Structure 1
């Protein structure tokens, strides 16, 4: 982990991870079932680059806008952030909102880039 996070934040993330499902990059790449890929990072992070096929719905607005973006609560959703922490928290929240198949991408955008997988960068 390249960033040092506050202990309270890590405690919250670890509690969330016990209640949600994570998916690895390898599992996601081998997945043949359709899913919605949501980048929940901040706007400035999204603008620097994102995963192909991803839609952007920042963590600050996901609860407000998810039902307009993904109306079907049975739809499989994969969330990702920088390292898999914020996406774990958001996955837990979406489950509480009734979404049944929410996954958090373990390692997030950082691991995706470390593995030199394709990203979409602004022109």
Structure 2
């Protein structure tokens, strides 16, 4: 997908405020049996076509509204992913501004997961 220059500029300006990890780290933690909160912020139609194992859906359009009901503890570690890692940066920054201290964007997102050949759920 070709992104507009202003969108990419916004992502780059925001990236410095957000911690990131990658799909390989997430897969490694899953293989180790580590418990963590993995949140898919893509559109509902994207979620329905497949998502990372163990993920929970809280789309970018509702995450700020519904996050406190689902995760009231501001110290909860939240790992957000989208299609490629851009929307998750924006969502992670919004949650950071809401007071969440451990919000991490998953670089590569769903496409990176698929490219690595990792399994998906539907």
Bigger mean CA offset, 19-28 vs 74-83: 19-28
Match of 1:62 in 2: 63
Deviation, 1:25, is 1.6
- Runs of 5+ in structure 2 lacking a partner? none
In the alignment of these two chains, the number of paired residues is 119
Q: CA deviation at 1:8?
A: 0.9
Q: Which residue of 2 aligns with 1:23?
A: 21
Per the alignment, residue 116 of structure 1 pairs with: 117
**SS at structure 2 position matched to 1:23:** strand
Identify the residue that residue 89 of structure 1 maps to in structure 2: 90
Structure 1 residue runs of 4 or more that deviate by more than 4 Å after TM superposition: none
**Per-residue displacement from partner, 1:42-74 (whole Å, max 9, x unpaired)?**
010000000010000000011100001111110
Q: Deviations over 1:88-121 (max 9, x none)?
A: 0000000000001000000000010111101002
TM-score, normalised via structure 2 length = 0.93
What corresponds to 1:13 in structure 2?
11
TM-score by length of 1: 0.92
Matches for 1:37-52 after TM superposition, within 5 Å: 37-52=38-53
In the alignment, the residues of structure 1 paired with residue 103 and residue 78 of structure 2 have an alpha-carbon distance, to the nearest angstrom, of 5
Q: Distance in 2 between matches of 1:109 and 1:15?
A: 22
